[in-house]
Chains A and B, each alone.
Chain A
Amino acid sequence: MLSEIVLLGLNHKTAPIELRECLAFSADQASTALGNGLNSPYISEILLISTCNRMEILMTAPDCAPAIDVAKQMISDIKQIPVSEFSDALYVHTGNDAIRHVFRVASSLDSMVVGEPQILGQIKDAYLTAVQNKTSGVILNRLLHKTFFVAKRVRSETGIGDHAVSISYAAIELGRKIFGELEGKKVLLVGAGEMAELAVEHLIRNRSGAIFVANRTFERGVELAGRFRGRAIRFEEIPEYLKVVDIVISSTGAPGYILTPPSVKSAMKVRKNRPLFFIDIAVPRDIDPDINRMGNAYVYDIDDLKNVIDENIEDRNREAIKGERIVDEAVIQFRKWYESLDAVPTIVALRAKLERIADAENQKTFHTLKHLSDEDRNAIQRMSQSMINKILHDPMVYLRRNGCYGDKSLHIDWTRKLFNLDNDNQE
């Protein structure tokens, strides 16, 4: 019998973070797992994916049930955790469902944030580990290559990777809609905070201009400015610098507004109404929302940015539907190849090919030997038929029996290639 594709695993939807932490495989552990898996007679090929959001084992096995038990036991042995603790969180897919699942995961359709780009790289790493440990064979090789192809197609043909889904990226995107290019735009960071600093880092990556840092405690400001290669300014100097900078990112713990319309108004005059973009990440807010009513000044607070992200996530989910269609198509294509690996269709195709050749050659011969009687012709045809049977006997026995000794799909694949069966069928 042909090996079945089996996938078992858990992800952020089925398992809480505490459990996922316990089951995360390090690189060494993954190699051990792959080796152990292949030692079992129930598993023909194996691959292990472990990221912070998921742990999955992909394998091919002649028989599903014992292979799944072996895999569970293996996880339990390596991670030192009883099977009962994680078996409820496990999902198991076989056949088409397993293929679809791998495609969806790699295309980032199954991710916590749909469209996040890291997962494809993580699966490539997992595949590389499997290749290095020689635990992937004909089926998984083909499946993974198809997976990479599908993931790329989904990314390039749908918008699942478009638009920011983090606060700091959303702020950068808005900046682009205001300024066009962010290159050379001067930035003022007021206060400090993880999100604000991340936004500054994104801006620097977009080749923004000078960075100024204002902090209540000047020493802290100097330290931060050093990190961004910027300049620390005193808190009282902020109104003065509004005349110079283009983007203000504010994230202080102040109880009231730090910037109010009058100070912005006087700065606007000096800057000849060049646009000024305020990103207010602080709660309570630092920047008076009334500033947004002034010409050429734009204020976005944390809630506004969150709304932007929510809309973008909705967009991505809409695009994901297109991705699902691409995945479905690919599953059908892969299945077709996979089914051709079974012994029976291969033998049928091989016999058909030989008969086609014999028939064509017989006809050619009969054409030149016109004096043959019908009886003679029948005799010759019977002879060629029995030659085909004799020739095919050993290969047939070999292909049918071979399942017990090793990877049958490998030999079938070779046979199909050796006799060029797939291309013949297409003709």
Chain B
Amino acid sequence: MENVIIGVTFLYLLSSAGYIAYLFLQKDVLHRISGYVLGAAFLGHTGAIGYRFLMAGQMPVSDLHETLSMAGWAIVGVYILFQHQFNLKVLGAFAVPLASMVMIASDLLPRIPLLVQSGLRSTWLVFHVLAIFSGEAAFALACGIGVLYLIQEKTIKTKRRKFFYKRLPSLEFLDSSGYVCVVVGFTLLTIGLATGFVYAKMIWGKFLSWDPKEIWSGVTWLLYAALIHERLVVGWRGRKSAILAIIGFCAVIFTFLGVNLLMKGHHEVFTRW
């Protein structure tokens, strides 16, 4: 199983190299091949995670190694869906290397022998994990697109139309596709939090135990809620929207890793290493 994951990581790296080469050389064939490699790696990755799931009977997020692997899987999966929908070709050079780095970190971490905790076997938990991870992957893409927006806006404003001007699509496209990512991510995050609360009620008998993870998840949710609200009501679009998507993703990373590593709480077990 470990060999499969390492092989998958290698293919992700290969695909990253292809996407970065595409960014510079702009040859469509590079983009196409990278897409195939990425698809093959994603299938292998899905198989590996599915196998772990069947073996353990629970979502494979019992240590930091597995959790990061799951995060990498979610980023690639959401990226493939996004690419299919919007065909924003340069995004691969940002999303796939990010997934690759997450996978390398995962590979370097020790694997902890599986502890079967009967309390973690629940359909609610499966939805909770899937929704949260995909939602956060969508936020990762929104952040990447936000960066691209800021780059493209700067080239147009400063009138220095160099490297990125030709390679990036219009501002309007970046703005609206980034917004789609935020909305999708926000919906998934909401579902993830809701299922998490239901699950908590079942296990601990209360919806909210003021655990740091819960608090920070709430903060993240509020940040994105603010972004969507401001956009709909006041019309925060373009630059402000892009910056907020980047700040939001920083909050996501902190909620995902920082809280577990720096603070105590009942999610701690998922990031043991």
> Which A positions have Cβ atoms within 8 angstroms of B?
174, 176-181, 271-275, 292, 295-296, 298, 300, 304, 307-308, 311
Check A272 against B161 for contact (C-beta < 8 Å). Answer: no
Check B170 against A178 for contact (C-beta < 8 Å). Answer: yes
Q: Which of A179, A180, A311 has the most CB of B within 10 A?
A: A180
Question: Quick one: closest B residue to A292, CB to CB?
Answer: B157
Bound together, the chains give a CA A383 to CA B181 distance in angstroms of 89
Please name all residues of chain B whose beta carbon is closer than 8 Å to the beta carbon of A298 when the two chains form the complex. Answer: 156-157
Instruction: Given A274-B235, A296-B239, A311-B161, check contact A180 B169 (CB 8 Å).
Output: yes
Q: Tell me the smallest distance from the CB of A277 to a CB of chain B, in Å.
A: 9
Closest 4 CB pairs of A and B: A272-B235, A180-B170, A180-B172, A273-B235
Question: Quick one: closest A residue to B175, CB to CB?
Answer: A275
Instruction: Given A272-B235, A273-B238, A274-B237, check contact A178 B171 (CB 8 Å).
Output: yes
Task: Give the number of A-B contacts (CB < 8 Å).
Answer: 50
| B254 interface residue per 8 A CB criterion | no
Give the residue of B159, B234, B237, B239 whose beta carbon is less than 8 angstroms from that of A307. B159
Check A273 against B156 for contact (C-beta < 8 Å). Answer: no
Please name all residues of chain B whose beta carbon is closer than 8 Å to the beta carbon of A274 when the two chains form the complex. Answer: 235, 237
Bound together, the chains give a CA A304 to CA B155 distance in angstroms of 13
Bound together, the chains give a CA A177 to CA B166 distance in angstroms of 9
Bound together, the chains give a CA A195 to CA B232 distance in angstroms of 38
Bound together, the chains give a CA A308 to CA B159 distance in angstroms of 8
| B272 interface residue per 8 A CB criterion | no
Bound together, the chains give a CA A275 to CA B171 distance in angstroms of 9
Q: Tell me the smallest distance from the CB of B250 to a CB of chain A, in Å.
A: 21
Bound together, the chains give a CA A350 to CA B247 distance in angstroms of 81
Check B156 against A295 for contact (C-beta < 8 Å). Answer: no
Question: Quick one: closest A residue to B232, CB to CB?
Answer: A272
| B197 interface residue per 8 A CB criterion | no
Q: Tell me the smallest distance from the CB of B29 to a CB of chain A, in Å.
A: 15
Question: Quick one: closest A residue to B168, CB to CB?
Answer: A177
Check A273 against B161 for contact (C-beta < 8 Å). Answer: no
Question: Quick one: closest A residue to B233, CB to CB?
Answer: A272
Bound together, the chains give a CA A241 to CA B173 distance in angstroms of 25
Please name all residues of chain B whose beta carbon is closer than 8 Å to the beta carbon of A300 when the two chains form the complex. Answer: 159
Bound together, the chains give a CA A203 to CA B169 distance in angstroms of 19
Check A179 against B237 for contact (C-beta < 8 Å). Answer: no
| B94 interface residue per 8 A CB criterion | no
| B236 interface residue per 8 A CB criterion | yes
Bound together, the chains give a CA A304 to CA B172 distance in angstroms of 21
| B10 interface residue per 8 A CB criterion | no
Give the residue of A177, A295, A311 whose beta carbon is less than 8 angstroms from that of B170. A177
Q: Tell me the smallest distance from the CB of A88 to a CB of chain B, in Å.
A: 42
Please name all residues of chain A whose beta carbon is closer than 8 Å to the beta carbon of B267 when the two chains form the complex. Answer: none
Can you give 21 A-B contacts (C-beta < 8 A)? A177-B156, A177-B170, A178-B170, A178-B171, A179-B172, A180-B169, A180-B170, A272-B235, A272-B237, A273-B234, A273-B235, A273-B240, A275-B171, A275-B172, A292-B157, A295-B238, A296-B238, A298-B157, A304-B159, A307-B159, A308-B159
Instruction: Given A275-B171, A275-B172, A311-B161, check contact A178 B156 (CB 8 Å).
Output: yes
Please name all residues of chain A whose beta carbon is closer than 8 Å to the beta carbon of B235 when the two chains form the complex. Answer: 271-274
Check B234 against A178 for contact (C-beta < 8 Å). Answer: no
| B165 interface residue per 8 A CB criterion | yes
Check A295 against B165 for contact (C-beta < 8 Å). Answer: no
Bound together, the chains give a CA A205 to CA B270 distance in angstroms of 59
Check B240 against A179 for contact (C-beta < 8 Å). Answer: no
Bound together, the chains give a CA A177 to CA B175 distance in angstroms of 12
Please name all residues of chain A whose beta carbon is closer than 8 Å to the beta carbon of B236 when the two chains form the complex. Answer: 273
Give the residue of A174, A178, A272 whose beta carbon is less than 8 angstroms from that of B172. A178
Bound together, the chains give a CA A36 to CA B240 distance in angstroms of 73
Please name all residues of chain A whose beta carbon is closer than 8 Å to the beta carbon of B169 when the two chains form the complex. Answer: 180
Bound together, the chains give a CA A254 to CA B173 distance in angstroms of 36
Please name all residues of chain A whose beta carbon is closer than 8 Å to the beta carbon of B173 when the two chains form the complex. Answer: 180
Q: Tell me the smallest distance from the CB of A165 to a CB of chain B, in Å.
A: 15
Please name all residues of chain B whose beta carbon is closer than 8 Å to the beta carbon of A181 when the two chains form the complex. Answer: 172
Please name all residues of chain B whose beta carbon is closer than 8 Å to the beta carbon of A174 when the two chains form the complex. Answer: 156
Please name all residues of chain B whose beta carbon is closer than 8 Å to the beta carbon of A179 when the two chains form the complex. Answer: 170-172
Q: Tell me the smallest distance from the CB of B239 to a CB of chain A, in Å.
A: 5
A271-B235, A274-B235, A300-B159 are known; give 9 further A-B pairs, CB within 8 A.
Answer: A177-B170, A178-B170, A178-B172, A179-B171, A180-B170, A273-B236, A274-B237, A295-B239, A295-B240
Give the residue of A176, A272, A292, A311 whose beta carbon is less than 8 angstroms from that of B234. A272
Instruction: Given A178-B156, A311-B161, check contact A296 B237 (CB 8 Å).
Output: yes
Question: Quick one: closest A residue to B152, CB to CB?
Answer: A177
Bound together, the chains give a CA A275 to CA B170 distance in angstroms of 12
Please name all residues of chain B whose beta carbon is closer than 8 Å to the beta carbon of A292 when the two chains form the complex. Answer: 157
Bound together, the chains give a CA A174 to CA B171 distance in angstroms of 11
Please name all residues of chain B whose beta carbon is closer than 8 Å to the beta carbon of A176 when the two chains form the complex. Answer: 170
Bound together, the chains give a CA A28 to CA B173 distance in angstroms of 53
* Interface membership of chain B positions 206-238, coded 1 if the CB is closer than 8 angstroms to chain A and 0 otherwise: 000000000000000000000000000011111
B144-176 residues with Cβ-Cβ distance < 8 A to A are: 152, 156-157, 159, 161, 165, 169-173
Bound together, the chains give a CA A176 to CA B234 distance in angstroms of 25
